C-alpha cells in the first residue's frame, strides 16, 4: 500500500513512527505459527505456556490483554486474542531478545491514547483513502499481515458455520481484540532498544 499510495496521508500524525531497527522482517512469524498453531491439546498447552511467560515478562501488556479476554467474548474473538497475543509477543522475544524492554503503564497508556487520537483525526478527514490502522500496517507489515491472515481465516470459518446455523460471530468482540493487538504491536515496537552502534534517529530531531 505504501508503494501504491505515495502521496496520501500514510504516516501517523498522533502515532509516532516505529524505528527501522524494531521492524520484524524475518520468518520468525512462520516458525511461531508452526510452533503454536496446532489445533490440538498440545498446541493449546504451548499457547498457555507462552502466555504465562508473556505475563511474567510484560505484565502491563499481559494484564490488559487478559482483562479483555476475561470478558464474555465469543469463542472466535477469544481464540484469536489468546493465539495472536502469544504469537506476537513470542515473535518479538525471539527476534530482539534482551533488547526488548518491559512496557510500563505510562508507555502503554500513551500508545492507546495515540491510537484513539489518530482515529479521530482521520475520521475528521473522511476523504483520506486509508484508515488509521494502516499506519500500523506500514510500520510493522509482516506482523499486521500475520494478524489479518488469521482474522480472515477465523472469520471465514465462522461465517460458514453461521450460514449453517451453528454459530454467530460477534464482530464487536473481534474488533475489540483487533484494537488491543494494534496497541500491543506498537507498544512492543517502541520497547525495542537499538542494537549496539545503531543510532535511533527518532530522538535526534
Question: Does 32 fall in a domain?
Answer: yes
Q: Residue 12 phi/psi, 5° resolution?
A: -70, 150
Smallest Cα–Cα separation from 173: which of 80, 109, 108? 80
Spatial contact of 79 and 154, defined as CB atoms under 8 Å apart: yes
Written as one string, the DSSP assignment of 140-164 is SHHHHHHHHHHHHHHHHHHHHHHHT
Domain presence at residue 15: no
- The number of domains in the chain is 1
In a domain, 204, yes or no: no
* 199 falls within a domain: no
- Asked if residue 146 is part of any domain, the answer here is yes
Q: Which domain holds residue 92?
A: 22-194
Asked if 90 and 50 count as a contact pair (C-beta separation under 8 A), the reply is: yes
Left if phi > 0, otherwise alpha if psi is -120 to 50, otherwise beta: which for 176?
alpha
Neighbours of 117 (CB within 10 A): 15
CA distance 71 to 66: 9
Task: Using the structure block, give the residue that is written with the C-alpha cell 495472536.
Answer: 84
**What pLDDT is attached to residue 128?**
55
Is 125 contained in some domain? Answer: yes
Q: How many CB atoms lie within 10 A of CB 33?
A: 16
The Cα angle at residue 178 between residues 159 and 31, in degrees rounded to 5: 90
Residue 118 in domain: yes
DSSP state of 128: -
Q: And the C-alpha cell for 14?
A: 498522533
pLDDT tens for the chain, 205 residues: list them.
Answer: 444 444 344 555 678 899 999 999 878 999 999 888 777 777 788 889 999 999 999 999 999 999 999 999 988 899 999 999 999 999 999 999 999 999 999 999 999 999 888 888 877 765 554 566 788 888 899 999 999 999 998 888 777 766 766 667 788 899 999 999 999 999 999 999 998 755 555 544 4
Residue 4 domain-assigned (yes or no): no
Q: What SS3 state is found at 133?
A: helix
pTM, entire model = 0.84
Amino acid at each position: 500500500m505504501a508503494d501504491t499510495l505515495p502521496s496520501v496521508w500514510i504516516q501517523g500524525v498522533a502515532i509516532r513512527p516505529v524505528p527501522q531497527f524494531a521492524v520484524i522482517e524475518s520468518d520468525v512469524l512462520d516458525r511461531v505459527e508452526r510452533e503454536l498453531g496446532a489445533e490440538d491439546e498440545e498446541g493449546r498447552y504451548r499457547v498457555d505456556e507462552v502466555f504465562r511467560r508473556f505475563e511474567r515478562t510484560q505484565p502491563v501488556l499481559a494484564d490488559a490483554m487478559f482483562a479483555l479476554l476475561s470478558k464474555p467474548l465469543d469463542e472466535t474473538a477469544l481464540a484469536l486474542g489468546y493465539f495472536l497475543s502469544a504469537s506476537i509477543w513470542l515473535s518479538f522475544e525471539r527476534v530482539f531478545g534482551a533488547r526488548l524492554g518491559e512496557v510500563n503503564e505510562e508507555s502503554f497508556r500513551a500508545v492507546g491514547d495515540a491510537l484513539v487520537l489518530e482515529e479521530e483525526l482521520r475520521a475528521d478527514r473522511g476523504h483520506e483513502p486509508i484508515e488509521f490502522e494502516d499506519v500500523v500496517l506500514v510500520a510493522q507489515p509482516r506482523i499486521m499481515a500475520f494478524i489479518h491472515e488469521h482474522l480472515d481465516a477465523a472469520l471465514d470459518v465462522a461465517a460458514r458455520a453461521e450460514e449453517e446455523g451453528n454459530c454467530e460471530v460477534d464482530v464487536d468482540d473481534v474488533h475489540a481484540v483487533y484494537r488491543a493487538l494494534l496497541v500491543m504491536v506498537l507498544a512492543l515496537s517502541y520497547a525495542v532498544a537499538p542494537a549496539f552502534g545503531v543510532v535511533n534517529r527518532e530522538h535526534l530531531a
